[in-house]
């Protein structure tokens, strides 16, 4: 394994089938095990790859590492469900509040907020949607534009303008060939409809946080409506059963197609097909339906959390969306004056000021890049830098696991988890579970040091920090 040092936390590791660019400081790079590079070698066997990289949070996943950016030309390239991930459209959303953290010091008040949020947002797998008036077909076809008008009543930035719900998102509608929906079985429609506006388990969460503005980016923070001590709402969720069904079914169908074509790969869970094949086109179309579902799902969670805040703190509390973006997808984007299919699996797009792909609301500054920490540690709001072009404007999507769920339960005690949440102290992070055993596999000790991850991204000149988000309340699904 040869390595080229490009400087600024950027290494190019040369493998037999090609190169993987790694963006990590020395401390983080030392945590990358051999298996991570084996998976890169196997992924690079997919023909005609244009670019392949790992962000500092990269760790072993199914078929492909989480933390991967992989790029092919649209003209003759490949699409891979494995490099999209099973939770298609999984991503982040942040809502602002007018509150200062000092207004949420009272623990009883915070417990009331937890209870109110759980009243509106199901946090168990069996929890059912309360949005029975929303037609699922409109959601998967048109994304946020498929919602009834009542759910898009959030104020616009200007009188007579479009709701922020549609302007302050990575994309409000992902267009695709709707005839592809004929391939979805009836039982999948019913299950996915029942999960609209639900959180899901694993690493998904709702956190109430307070901001510390970075001195170097105070002007951008002010432009975005951020201030020191501000209470914000961070949401992490995806496409629930809809995306999971597509990931499962199309992994199977791609495997069958690869067998038919005589294509083999040493990575048994890695599947791929040419973009222009029937399999590739059907997957891409249905993947976009899952992206539509995912952005609506997070929107409805945010809508419900605002109702909870109003129930507890008064109807005057407004929680406008700051931004919504995804970190599991494959999108056609223009880079180097060429249409390319950019896969991001556990990687976040971070465009700099002035980039043409920014939504109109963020053309001047670049859009917010939302990076969660681990439960009990800080999250970050960042903005892309011009240097991000070298990595197709991808940065980390979080801290990145350093232990599997099973290994975490074996290695970390409940007492250690309690200490990480500062239980019993004045700045205790309140959670929605009476027993921490149910969520032990999501404790901070399961993850890399998020501050080192952010240091790597900044050191690589991919993005800069606008605000650090310190957790006050953590709501996890099971």
C-alpha neighbours within 13 Å on the C-beta side of residue 382: 36
The reply to whether 21 sits in an annotated binding site is no
The reply to whether 373 sits in an annotated binding site is yes
DSSP readout, 346-396? S-EE-PPTT-TTS-GGGTTT--EEEE---TTS-EEEEEE-GGGGGGTTEE-
Q: How deeply is 147 buried, as exposed, middle or buried, from its count of CB atoms within 10 A (0-12, 13-18, 19+)?
A: buried
The reply to whether 172 sits in an annotated binding site is no
Distance, CA of 327 to CA of 58 (rounded, Å): 13
The reply to whether 399 sits in an annotated binding site is yes
Per the structure block, which two tokens stand in for 420?
Answer: 């990480």
The reply to whether 102 sits in an annotated binding site is no
Angle, alpha carbons 430-431-435 (nearest 5°)? 125
Active site residue 178: no
The reply to whether 87 sits in an annotated binding site is yes
Give strand pairing partners of 10: 7, 23
The reply to whether 184 sits in an annotated binding site is no
The reply to whether 204 sits in an annotated binding site is yes
CB atoms within 10 A of CB 406: 9
The reply to whether 444 sits in an annotated binding site is no
The reply to whether 4 sits in an annotated binding site is no
Estimate the crossing angle of helix 186-193 against helix 240-261, to 10 degrees.
150
The reply to whether 275 sits in an annotated binding site is no
The reply to whether 145 sits in an annotated binding site is no
Enumerate residues 6+ apart whose C-beta is below 8 A from 12.
3, 4, 6, 19, 20, 21, 22
**CA trace torsion 418, 419, 421, 423 (10° rounding):** 70
The reply to whether 394 sits in an annotated binding site is no
The reply to whether 8 sits in an annotated binding site is no
Distance, CA of 18 to CA of 43 (rounded, Å): 10
The reply to whether 285 sits in an annotated binding site is no
The reply to whether 205 sits in an annotated binding site is yes
Helix-, strand-, coil-residue percentages of the chain, each rounded to 5: 35, 25, 35
The reply to whether 315 sits in an annotated binding site is no
The reply to whether 476 sits in an annotated binding site is yes
Give strand pairing partners of 382: 369, 465
The reply to whether 203 sits in an annotated binding site is yes
3-state secondary structure 32-63: CCHHHHHHHHHHCCCCCCCEEEEEEEEECCCC
Per the structure block, which two tokens stand in for 406?
Answer: 């099973």
Distance, CA of 443 to CA of 147 (rounded, Å): 35
Per the structure block, which two tokens stand in for 364?
Answer: 């001047």
Q: Catalytic one among 59, 172, 343, 397?
A: 397
Q: What is the CA radius of gyration of the chain?
A: 21
Closest CA to 39 of 23, 62, 55, 21: 62
Q: Which residues are catalytic?
A: 397
| Known binding positions for Mn(2+) | 87, 204, 236, 327
| Known binding positions | 87, 203-207, 236, 327-328, 372-375, 379, 397-400, 476
| Known binding positions for GMP | 203-207, 327-328, 372-375, 379, 397-400, 476
């Amino acid at each position: 394994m040869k390595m080229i040092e490009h400087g600024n936390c950027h290494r190019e590791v040369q493998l037999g089938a090609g190169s993987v660019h790694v963006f990590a400081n020395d401390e983080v790079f030392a945590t990358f095990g051999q298996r991570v590079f084996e998976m890169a070698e196997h992924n690079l066997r997919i023909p005609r790859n244009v670019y392949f990289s790992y962000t500092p949070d990269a760790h072993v996943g199914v078929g492909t590492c989480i933390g991967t950016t992989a790029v092919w030309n649209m003209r003759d390239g490949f699409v891979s469900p494995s490099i999209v991930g099973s939770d298609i459209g999984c991503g982040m959303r942040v809502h602002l509040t007018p509150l200062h953290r000092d207004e949420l010091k009272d623990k009883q008040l915070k417990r009331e907020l937890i209870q109110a949020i759980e009243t509106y947002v199901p946090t168990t797998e069996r929890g059912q949607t309360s949005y029975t008036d929303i037609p699922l077909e409109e959601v998967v076809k048109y994304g946020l534009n498929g919602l009834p008008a009542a759910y898009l009543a959030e104020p616009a930035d200007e009188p007579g303008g479009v709701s922020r719900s549609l302007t302050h998102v990575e994309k409000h509608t992902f267009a695709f060939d709707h005839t592809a929906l004929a391939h979805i079985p009836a039982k999948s429609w019913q299950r996915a409809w029942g999960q609209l506006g639900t959180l899901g388990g694993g690493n998904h969460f709702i956190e109430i946080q307070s901001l510390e503005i970075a001195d170097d980016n105070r002007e951008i923070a002010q432009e975005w409506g951020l201030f020191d001590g501000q209470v914000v709402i961070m949401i992490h969720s995806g496409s629930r059963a809809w995306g999971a069904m597509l990931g499962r079914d199309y992994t199977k169908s791609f495997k069958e197609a690869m067998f038919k074509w005589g294509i083999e790969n040493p990575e048994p869970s890695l599947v791929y097909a040419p973009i222009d094949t029937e399999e590739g086109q059907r997957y891409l179309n249905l993947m976009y339906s899952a992206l539509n579902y995912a952005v609506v799902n997070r929107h409805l969670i945010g809508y419900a959390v605002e109702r909870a805040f109003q129930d507890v703190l008064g109807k005057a509390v407004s929680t406008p969306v700051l931004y919504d973006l995804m970190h599991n997808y494959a999108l056609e984007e223009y880079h180097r004056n060429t249409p390319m299919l950019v896969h991001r699996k556990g990687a976040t797009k971070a465009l700099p000021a002035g980039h043409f792909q920014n939504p109109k609301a963020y053309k001047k500054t670049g859009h917010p890049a939302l990076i969660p920490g681990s439960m009990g540690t800080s999250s970050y709001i960042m903005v892309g830098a011009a240097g991000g072009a070298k990595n197709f404007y991808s940065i980390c999507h979080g801290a990145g696991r350093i232990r599997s769920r099973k290994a975490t339960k074996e290695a970390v005690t409940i007492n250690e988890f309690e200490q990480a949440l500062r239980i019993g102290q004045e700045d205790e992070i309140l959670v929605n579970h009476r027993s921490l055993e149910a969520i032990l596999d999501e404790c901070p000790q399961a993850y890399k040091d998020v501050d080192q991850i952010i240091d790597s991204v900044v050191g690589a000149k991919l993005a800069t920090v606008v605000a650090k988000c310190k957790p006050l309340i953590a709501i996890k699904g099971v």
